[in-house]
Structure 1
Amino acid sequence: MTTKFRRGAAIAVAAALVGVGLVGCASSGGGTSASSKSYTFWDPYPQFDQSAAWTKLVESCGTKAGVTVKRTGYDTTALTNKALLAGQQGNSPDMLLVDNPVVSTLADAGILTSTAENKLDTSAIDKNIIAAGEIGGKTYGVPIGANTLALYYNKTVLKAAGVDAASITDWATLTDALAKVKAAGKKGITFSGINTEEGSFQFLPWFWGSGANLTQLDSPQAVAALTLWTDWLKKGYAPNSVIQNTQTTSWQEFATGDYAFGENGTWQLGNVKQAGIDYGILTIPAESGGPAAAPTGGEFLTIPVQKDAARYATTKKIVNCLTSTANFVTTDNTLSYIAPTADAQAAQVAGNAALKPWVDAVKAAKGRTSDNLGTKYPKISEQLWTAVQTALSGSQTPEAALKAAQTAAAAAIK
């Protein structure tokens, strides 16, 4: 994810391609000999042209390694599909930057080298962030940064309702604050509950914050989390629009200045300043207090399998350059990411104190494919967002919706 959430639909498409076999024309990827001075790099940033700081950084790291790096940016879905096709044909790029849940799909397809094979050092990476790239006891790639979710709050709205943001420490105190906001004639909280990966992404902090686990969607803890959301709608603390809200449209609601809270990510920091809202940031609370684990977004820099293993030495130099502390800070500030190492995080906060709550949120975050879910995650997530939709619309109770989701997910991951 860069300035917006990178959707999980690509993961499902990729997994389907793996299942049915990959066909297509040859891509302009790797497979070049070690003697070649040209290295290829694919990333999910088509918005960056040749003049962009990111492009210049990639090229400069190539120059330091004594080679030329040809960078190509693709839309997330296209990138995943192209990577699968190129890998199946033995024609992968030298470096591949992908959304973290996609790592398990590519690793499962045999396209990526592990860090044990390519000797990338991940010892300084925060354990909860690197976990998104761990599959079957092996690690694939290095995260270039992470983003996650928290609660933006409008200080003006809370003051009018007599609410002290510091008093919000768990679900009960948050719900009490929403009641006071409504009583004061203001709007409560907006979020994204749409029936896509964005809906699952936004529900996961509450799901995990209840103590629920993705392997058991219909647990009492999971029911409590979904009941929290449905009760907010019934009591008018959240608008019915959340059922179809994307993270973008949810943000647009918060940006009107009418809402006390908006669940969203680091990528909205520039927008909240433009909106002119006197805002603060709260880590999403767990049911009984403390920070809830929110899902991590962000990309992993991976090294695909090459026919000529001699190329890996130079590729490693380029990757090490891109993931140095100084370049982590430069890159992650540009992409609205929190760096994945303590040293780089400290440098970010030293340069911008407003990032401190986000560093805390990222430290409490969790990868969607963690717990060794790997390629099972997209199948589980689809059933989770379906249950959220069904319950929010009133078609089923949270209990019934999650029971159906668990049955369908269990069947899908057999």
Structure 2
Amino acid sequence: MHSTSRRRLAAVALSTVLAAAGTACSSGSGSTDTKGADSGTYTIWDPYPQFAKGSAWVKLLDACGSKAGVKVKRTGFDTSDLANKTLLAAQQGNSPDILIVDNPVVSTLAEAGVLTTTDDNKLDTSAVDPNLLAAGQSDGKTYGTPIGANTLALYYNKKVLKEAGVDVASIKDWKSLTTALEKTKKAGKKGITFSAIGTEEGSFQFLPWFWGSGAALTDLDSPAAVSALSLWKGWLDKGYAPNSVLNNTQTTSWQEFASGDYAFAENGTWQLAAAKKAGFDYGVLPIPATDGGNAAAPTGGEFVTVPVQSDTARYATTSKLTACLTSTTNLYDTDTTLSYVAPTEEVRNKQVAADPALGPWVDAVKAAKGRTSDDLGTKYPKISEQMWKAVQSALSGSKSPKDALTSAQAAVK
């Protein structure tokens, strides 16, 4: 790494990475041991500590190593721990050969000089949807390829809606959704639950409504943005959503929906297995935009990236490993294991053919958007923090939606 890159790396605050870390990853621990310089061993770091030796994921990594003629040494970390370990390893000149990292962190690591571009590492991104690839782009360069994507949509309880006299096909925009919530309350049931907690999870869940209003993250207090926050505030004031959303994580929000009393829950692809065990008939509806159509929801999921190595001869084998991991066959197997929607149309078609329940999620992913897209990069964590603070202020009643977002925009500037 050049000295200028080392200086950029030293200037990156770890809090930036922590703030940008994704919202739907599992926790765990791992070893920081890495490969010997000429050992023929290639290191892979990922945020999937839940997959132990013998799991389908680890078997895939080993198989790709065998195909490339090398041994793979894999370590799984908690998402935030992985980001910190990656920065430290880069400072020490001891980066893994392949890094699978949460998509909002890619631009931070790229700006720090940690990652190679796809022009350098020869990762083939030609089949990847542009809206998903954008999360790994910064200053016109691409720094990896998504291994899969998840996003948000509305789960709904078919029995609750039927008892309330709501035809889900009538829900096409904010007005019709609010009407459905009104009917649900009048029928003695509960409306909608979501996560508005004062963390990245709260911003993650607010973004579909924010973007669905037509607002942009560079203008937090626009009239469109105010309308989105006013929508949520109105739901709380009218009792369509519970006050518990202020402290709800996506997990506790899901637990409320799983009680069977709520008509809707905003949640992600990762709850599909839980939904099938909930004990009631459910459906999935893409989050509507204010005037109709599907709102852009934020993308979750990881990117396969290639960190900078002082021994550039390693890149040739690394390229073979990444090509194996992101092949059509392996993407299908991996995304099925991780409950992800694939980043390419070919693999998505295979997924939906095998499980038609993924259909609404495919539509949601097609409309999704990276949190660091639009060249926001490392600006996103600061914007997000002010956004969730504004949501908290407005929903708690300490400020009006307009005043809360005005303060947020001033803080970002």
Query: Normalization by structure 1: what TM-score?
Result: 0.93
CA contact (8 A) 1:296 1:362 kept: yes
* d(CA) in 2 for partners of 1:31, 1:376: 36
CA contact (8 A) 1:153 1:261 kept: yes
* d(CA) in 1 for partners of 2:37, 2:207: 42
* d(CA) in 1 for partners of 2:227, 2:324: 46
Matches within 5 A, 1:266-277: 266-277=269-280
* d(CA) in 1 for partners of 2:16, 2:277: 35
Does residue 129 in structure 1 map to residue 132 in structure 2? yes
| Paired residue type of 1:88 | Q
| Paired residue type of 1:44 | P
* d(CA) in 2 for partners of 1:365, 1:381: 17
CA contact (8 A) 1:14 1:105 kept: no
**CA deviation digits over 1:108-131, x for unaligned, max 9?**
110100001111110100000000
| Corresponding residue to 1:106 among 97, 109, 117 | 109
**C-alpha displacement at 1:30, in angstroms?**
5.1
Does residue 186 in structure 1 map to residue 189 in structure 2? yes
| Corresponding residue to 2:41 among 30, 38, 57 | 38
| Paired residue type of 1:318 | L
| Paired residue type of 2:367 | A
Q: Which residue of 1 aligns with 2:211?
A: 208
* d(CA) in 1 for partners of 2:144, 2:207: 24
- State percent identity of aligned pairs: 70
**C-alpha displacement at 1:50, in angstroms?**
0.3
Structure 1 residues 288 and 277, CA gap change in structure 2 (3 angstroms): same
Matches within 5 A, 1:155-166: 155-166=158-169
Matches within 5 A, 1:55-66: 55-66=58-69
| Paired residue type of 1:380 | I
**C-alpha displacement at 1:27, in angstroms?**
5.2
Q: Which residue of 1 aligns with 2:53?
A: 50
Secondary structure, aligned partner of 2:94: coil
**CA deviation digits over 1:26-55, x for unaligned, max 9?**
95335724xx32000000111111011101
Structure 1 residues 132 and 11, CA gap change in structure 2 (3 angstroms): farther
| Paired residue type of 1:12 | T
Q: Which residue of 1 aligns with 2:16?
A: 12
| Corresponding residue to 1:248 among 246, 251, 257 | 251
How many residues get paired?
391
| Paired residue type of 2:34 | G
* d(CA) in 2 for partners of 1:321, 1:188: 45
Which structure 2 segments of 5+ residues have no match?
Answer: 1-12, 21-30
Does residue 28 in structure 1 map to residue 33 in structure 2? yes
Segments of 4+ moved more than 6 angstroms: none
* d(CA) in 2 for partners of 1:132, 1:291: 19
Does residue 376 in structure 1 map to residue 379 in structure 2? yes
**CA deviation digits over 1:84-142, x for unaligned, max 9?**
01111111010001000000111111010000111111010000000000001000011
Q: Which residue of 1 aligns with 2:4?
A: none
**CA deviation digits over 1:349-369, x for unaligned, max 9?**
111111011011000000000
* d(CA) in 1 for partners of 2:348, 2:80: 30
| Paired residue type of 2:378 | T
Q: Which residue of 1 aligns with 2:260?
A: 257
Q: Which residue of 2 aligns with 1:400?
A: 403
RMSD of equivalent CA atoms: 1.5
Secondary structure, aligned partner of 1:208: helix
Structure 1 residues 223 and 75, CA gap change in structure 2 (3 angstroms): same
Secondary structure, aligned partner of 1:188: strand
Structure 1 residues 252 and 391, CA gap change in structure 2 (3 angstroms): same
* d(CA) in 2 for partners of 1:277, 1:375: 42
Q: Which residue of 1 aligns with 2:394?
A: 391
**CA deviation digits over 1:134-167, x for unaligned, max 9?**
0010000111000000000000000000000000
**CA deviation digits over 1:209-248, x for unaligned, max 9?**
0000000000000000000000000000000000110000
